[in-house]
Structure 1
Amino acid sequence: MRFKTALIVLILFAMLLPTAHAQGNTVYVAKIDGMITGYTVDQFDRYITEAEKANASAIIIELNTPGGRADAMQEIVMRIQNAKVPVIIYVYPSGGMAASAGTYIALGSHLIAMAPGTVIGACRPILGYGANGSIVEAPPKIVNFYIAYLRELAEMSGRNATLAEQFITEDRSVTSQEALKYGVIEVIATDVNDLLQKADGMETKIPVKDRGKVVLHLRDARVVYLEPSFKDTVIKYITDPTIAYVLLNLGFIGLIFGFLTPGWHVPETIGAIMLVLGLIGLGYFGYSSAGLLLIALAMIFFIAEALTPTFGLFTVAGTITFILGGTMLFGKGGGEYLVSGALYETLRIIIIVMAILLGLFFAFGAAAVVRAQRKKPEAGKEELVGAEGKVIQELNPEGLVRIHGEIWKAISKDGSRIPAGEKVRVVEVKGLTLIVSKEGDLDGGS
């Protein structure tokens, strides 16, 4: 009897064990598409952090980039090499590339895969572009530094260091088949599922933090796709060098045109927004810095609306930039990349509501305060000239009048008699005595 009971328990345990293992075997997949900038650093960090929190078996980064900033690339490489889960760089889709900065990132990863029809390489450092569009070459000491840096990345992962050096010295690029043949990459895969099957059982080329080199168990893993957020989509387009340059120039044109045509406010408003978006598009900022810059611009718009009411133009501009800034500043959490990101959805609603409330406050409340501050005081003697009042004690020629609810001693201007109840207007103030004229006499004499 005891033997049968033990056998049943063992059978149930054997049935449940694979299920528990399957549930824990999860692979995250994210996409990085476009220039490598400060924003890309944030994206890599958030994607990898999300996989670490879930204790995923690996995270696959679908990479398609023509290159980008060297400082951002180095931060990304450091984040990958300090990741607590294996990071697989997958050059994808067909027709895509991991050029320039993308090559360094790939060689710094735990495993490299490429889709058929993709290329990798051509990563010689440059300082930028001249006024005529020609490339400004980096000096030898910078080139030599990156040769040593790329060779080290290749050697520490056991990849082809000689070919890696040629990526810089000869601006060489290779196809996926050549990269596999010459030992630069580990896998050629047509899609994520194909990659999971082919990489299953492989060992990472570099150690995973606190775990050493890890054997990948990816077959039949549950795949979780991390979708890009709205801000990632916006950044992808404005960080394109051509678009960023156009935004900068249109921004300057808008500001200049606005200053030359004062009173309209539309050109300088649109110009200011384009100028800030162009600066953000240069890629020197991370999401937090870009968010702060947009929120600062929104505050300028709100204050301008209060000081120089524009029938809502500055309010609308401020509201839009505040929402964009809030989204970039506070939308950092990993939950925003999951379909069930309820927390981020709530935060986004709060950002929109706060932007509208701030806009209404500055459009009506703050503007009213400014108008009240600018309004001439009604109590001073000088402000009494021209004020209308009513005789409460007959002027003959002296008497009393009521002006703004106050009783003043008054004298008729021409010494004539003005009976009580008549309307008068102040024409002069002498000490504490008002010189007044009847409304009809004043109108008639004008």
Structure 2
Amino acid sequence: MRRALLMVLMVSMLLLPTVSAEKKVVYVGEIEGTITQYTADQFESYIKIAEERNAEALIIELNTPGGQGDAMMRIVSLIQNSTVPVIIYVYPRGAIAASAGTYIAMASHLIAMAPGTSIGACEPILGYSANGSIVRAPAKIRNFYAAYMRSLAEASGRNETAAVKFVLEDLSLTAQEALRANVIEIIANDVPELLKKANGMKTKVPVSGKGYVTLNFTNVEVKRLNPSLSYQIVSFLANPGIAYILLTVGMLGLVFGFLTPGWHVPETLGAILLVLGVVGMGYFGYNTAGLVLVILGIIFFIAEALTPTFGLFTIAGLVSFILGGLIMFGKGGGIYLVSGETFSTLRIIIIVTGIILALFFLFGMVAVMKAHKKRPETGKEEMIGAVGRVVEDLDPEGMIKVRGELWKAVSKTGETIKAGEKVRVVKMNGLTLIVERFEGDGDV
């Protein structure tokens, strides 16, 4: 009886569904360079991936000199509404979280810095004067950003005094100074050390829908989120130096093109560079920037059809169309137009479609040029050079037959040309053809 019960117990245990502890995942993304709307799109993409995959946390390795205020506020809102803890990690050594980057860090659930990094210097500026000096924002704007920074520090329980000095006094702190001043929570050399030190800590900011969360990084798997193709393209364009050069050269190209009409190369390159420069200013999102380039490409294609340029407009249209498509559908924005797997196929479709459109307009251009070169089928020009046969002696006037039609004709030299001989039309005077004797094998 005991053996039977033991057997039943063993079989039951074997049949019971096995429960294995699912390994927790921490995602690590990278944000580098000037903060623009593209940065906000990429931030949204990172957060959405972490939320959809129920990540334990999202770590953003941040290295930025600052950027646009509206893009920064959008990122702050994204962090505050995230259902996954967002940790800002100023990394690698030598990195900074200045200006807009400091606001983003202060809004995060936890701040970590690598040794040799710095944070702060948030005074708002309006730009730079002609001599290169900073144009400071008026007191009203400075006070607004100071209050905004204070509210972020207050919500996270961080040092409000230092936070306000970041704005009003352009205070900057090293990693050690920021830790002592209660501005950040952790100093770590790398992500594994960060996870080890943050394990068991409670978030400084409530996680959306969950309140304050105790971080549990025991037995976690770290997965990196690579920047999207869109973000890599626009990050290069959004470099202030690159954007400025593109705008300047683009405008010079347009001016030079208008001063030298007929060549088309300067204005074509100028238009492309100017649009890329505007895109690089970062005031668009991925979708708008991509759409602008696609529309520019279509305009170039149409221009090629209307004003053949031996393929110049076609090449320009192809470059603009493909670049715009890759940015627009490059998995950059928080609102996914397509999945990553679909984009791999879509990328090929975008390139193939662009090539097909380019070939279509290119062959259309060739057809137009051939039509321009082709002799007209009717009219005076069509008759010149035609070969006919005399049906009534030209002495010097008579009748000839050209292409199945009878024409009154006059011998050019005044000589007599007998019926049956070949003649060639050299001139047309009203409805009378001026001809000369023809000894060749031309068609009659």
Structure-2-length-normalised TM-score: 0.86
The question of whether the paired residues in 2 share the 8 Å contact of 1:50 and 1:334 is answered with no
1:131 to partner: Cα distance: 1.6
C-alpha spacing 1:221/1:13, structure 2 compared with 1 (3 Å): farther
Give the 3-state SS of the residue equivalent to 1:289 in structure 2: helix
The answer to whether structure 1 residue 239 and structure 2 residue 234 are counterparts is no
Distance 2:14 2:374 in 1: 92
* Structure 1: stretches of 5+ with no match in the other structure: 442-446
Aligned to 2:209: 210
Distance 1:345 1:440 in 2: 67
The answer to whether structure 1 residue 118 and structure 2 residue 117 are counterparts is yes
1:40 to partner: Cα distance: 0.4
Q: Indicate the larger mover: 390-399 or 61-70.
A: 390-399
1:408 to partner: Cα distance: 4.6
Name the aligned partner's letter for residue 370 of structure 1: V
Q: Indicate the larger mover: 419-428 or 111-120.
A: 419-428
> After superposition, where does 1:413-424 map in structure 2 within 5 Å?
417=417, 419-420=419-420, 422-424=422-424
Percent of aligned pairs with the same residue? 53
Listed one character per residue, the Cα deviations across residues 97-141 of structure 1 (whole Å, up to 9, x for unaligned) are 111000111111122111111111111111111122111111111
> After superposition, where does 1:49-60 map in structure 2 within 5 Å?
49-60=48-59
Aligned to 1:321: 320
1:261 to partner: Cα distance: 4.2
C-alpha spacing 1:191/1:6, structure 2 compared with 1 (3 Å): farther
Distance 1:276 1:395 in 2: 71
Aligned to 1:66: 65
Distance 2:327 2:347 in 1: 10
Name the aligned partner's letter for residue 246 of structure 1: I
> How many residue pairs get matched?
429
Aligned to 2:442: none
1:352 to partner: Cα distance: 1.5
Distance 2:25 2:217 in 1: 8
C-alpha spacing 1:21/1:65, structure 2 compared with 1 (3 Å): same
Aligned to 1:388: 386
Distance 1:180 1:312 in 2: 61
Name the aligned partner's letter for residue 199 of structure 1: A
1:75 to partner: Cα distance: 0.9
Give the 3-state SS of the residue equivalent to 1:90 in structure 2: strand
The question of whether the paired residues in 2 share the 8 Å contact of 1:48 and 1:59 is answered with yes
Aligned to 1:20: 21
> After superposition, where does 1:19-418 map in structure 2 within 5 Å?
19-22=20-23, 25-332=24-331, 341-364=340-363, 366-371=364-369, 374=372, 378-384=376-382, 386=384, 388-391=386-389, 393-394=391-392, 397-399=397-399, 401-403=401-403, 407-412=405-410, 417=417
Distance 2:262 2:214 in 1: 68
Distance 1:309 1:69 in 2: 42
Q: Indicate the larger mover: 198-207 or 139-148.
A: 198-207
1:417 to partner: Cα distance: 4.9
Distance 1:156 1:354 in 2: 51
Distance 2:312 2:345 in 1: 28
Distance 2:250 2:228 in 1: 26
1:69 to partner: Cα distance: 0.3
Listed one character per residue, the Cα deviations across residues 165-217 of structure 1 (whole Å, up to 9, x for unaligned) are 11111110112222222222222211111111111222222222222222222
C-alpha RMSD over aligned residues:
3.1
Name the aligned partner's letter for residue 425 of structure 1: V
C-alpha spacing 1:379/1:264, structure 2 compared with 1 (3 Å): closer
1:395 to partner: Cα distance: 5.8
Distance 2:207 2:34 in 1: 27
C-alpha spacing 1:255/1:395, structure 2 compared with 1 (3 Å): farther
Q: Indicate the larger mover: 129-138 or 309-318.
A: 309-318
Name the aligned partner's letter for residue 22 of structure 2: H
Name the aligned partner's letter for residue 419 of structure 2: P
The question of whether the paired residues in 2 share the 8 Å contact of 1:126 and 1:135 is answered with yes
1:76 to partner: Cα distance: 0.9
Name the aligned partner's letter for residue 46 of structure 2: Y
C-alpha spacing 1:408/1:299, structure 2 compared with 1 (3 Å): farther
Distance 1:150 1:59 in 2: 23
Moved over 6 A (4+): 7-14
Give the 3-state SS of the residue equivalent to 2:22 in structure 1: helix
C-alpha spacing 1:4/1:156, structure 2 compared with 1 (3 Å): farther
Distance 2:167 2:239 in 1: 23
Distance 1:52 1:393 in 2: 93
Aligned to 1:444: none
The question of whether the paired residues in 1 share the 8 Å contact of 2:84 and 2:207 is answered with yes
Distance 2:393 2:325 in 1: 67
C-alpha spacing 1:270/1:384, structure 2 compared with 1 (3 Å): closer
Aligned to 2:428: 428
